[in-house]
Amino acid sequence: MEQTNLDLKREQQASMARPRYEYSLAARFFFLAMDVMTGRKTTLAKTKLLEMLASIPYREWETRQYGRMTQGYRDLAVVQQARRILNWGREAQDNEYWHLLVIQEKMKAEGLPDPWYLVPPIPWLIIWSYRVIAWLLALVSLRRAFLFNAEFEDHAEHVYAQFVAEHPEWETQPVHNTLVKEYSSDVSTWADVFRRIGLDERDHRNRSFVYCGQAEYVVRYAGMPETDSPPPAG
Report domain extents, the chain.
24-217
> Looking at per-residue confidence, does 78 or 113 come out higher?
113
In which band, very low, low, confident or very high, does the pLDDT at 7 lie, cut at 50, 70 and 90? very high
Residues making up the chain, counted from first to last: 234
Hey, CA dihedral for 123, 105, 55, 10, is it positive or negative?
positive
Q: Is 229 a residue whose pLDDT tops 70?
A: no
Using alpha carbons, select from 83, 22, 92, 24 the residue that is nearest to residue 56.
Answer: 92
pLDDT in tens, 129-179: 999 999 999 999 999 999 999 999 999 999 999 999 999 999 999 999 999
**pLDDT of 71:** 87
Q: Is 76 a residue whose pLDDT tops 90?
A: no
The stretch 80-104 carries a mean pLDDT of 95
In which band, very low, low, confident or very high, does the pLDDT at 230 lie, cut at 50, 70 and 90? low
C-beta of residue 126 within 8 angstroms of C-beta of residue 48: no
Percent of the chain with pLDDT over 90: 84
pLDDT in tens, 98-125: 999 999 999 999 999 999 999 999 999 9
**pLDDT of 72:** 86
SS3 of 189, please?
strand
Cα 2 from chain centre: 16
Mean pLDDT of the chain: 94
The stretch 80-84 carries a mean pLDDT of 90
Q: Is 91 a residue whose pLDDT tops 80?
A: yes
**pLDDT of 228:** 55
- As a whole number of angstroms, the distance between CA 106 and CA 27 comes to 28
The stretch 224-228 carries a mean pLDDT of 78
In which band, very low, low, confident or very high, does the pLDDT at 63 lie, cut at 50, 70 and 90? confident
In which band, very low, low, confident or very high, does the pLDDT at 64 lie, cut at 50, 70 and 90? confident
SS3 of 174, please?
strand
24-217: what fold? Ferritin (1.20.1260)
Beta bridge partners of 174: 189
pLDDT in tens, 188-221: 999 999 999 999 999 999 999 999 999 999 999 9
